A and B are shown apart, each in its own frame.
Chain A
């Protein structure tokens, strides 16, 4: 069965530190990849997505992610975090054909200290 793993469950950083959150998926076929973010008290919103093409994708608020097909990975990065990046981050995968089901990772809670 397909699955998505997020290895970091809780991350604490100081402002201006660099961020990298890991995401690995298990599926042999072609996938679409997403990172969603949930700020405290707010609904889930899309941070960035990868469908095809350039494996380095840029999203909102200075986030980027790199798709490495050989490693089945889609890690999220930000060179310098801000206190306002405190949130929970979810990696998700959907198949490119058939069902529109998403498979979500378990999430990473990021806390940025001012």
Chain B
């Protein structure tokens, strides 16, 4: 079974802090994604990566950056956390020859 893990289930940070969210997948998938999930808004794509060191902006990239130094790891960075970034963050991965995304358990981030 594909496994996507995220470094934290719950995180509380202060406004202005730099925040790192880590995601690791164990199935050698090329594509990885970061979403945020908010009530009534569904999942919105922040960034995705289709290869090591490659990244593309999603629909809401402002205030975020990403890093993919190794194929299995995709990091989401909040350069200066703000209260409107309080949300559930989901990581997902997908193989090149398939279209089914596999999701991690999510990180619930609260910025105070």
Given contacts A105-B42, A106-B40, A106-B42, contact A100 B99 (CB under 8 A): yes
As a 0/1 sequence over residues 23 to 55 of chain A, the CB contacts with chain B under 8 angstroms (1 = contact) are 000000000101010000011111001010000
| A-B CB pair tally, cutoff 8 Å | 48
We find that the number of chain B residues with CB closer than 8 angstroms to chain A is 23
Interface of B toward A, CB cutoff 8 Å? 31, 33, 35, 40-45, 48, 50, 56, 58, 90, 92, 94, 99-101, 103-106
Rounded to whole angstroms, the CA-CA distance of A100 and B42 in the bound complex is 18
Given A9-B40, A43-B105, A90-B43, check contact A101 B48 (CB 8 Å): yes
22 contacts between A and B (CB under 8 A): A6-B42, A9-B40, A43-B106, A44-B92, A45-B103, A49-B99, A49-B100, A51-B99, A90-B42, A90-B43, A99-B56, A100-B31, A101-B45, A101-B48, A101-B58, A102-B33, A102-B43, A104-B35, A104-B42, A104-B44, A106-B40, A106-B41
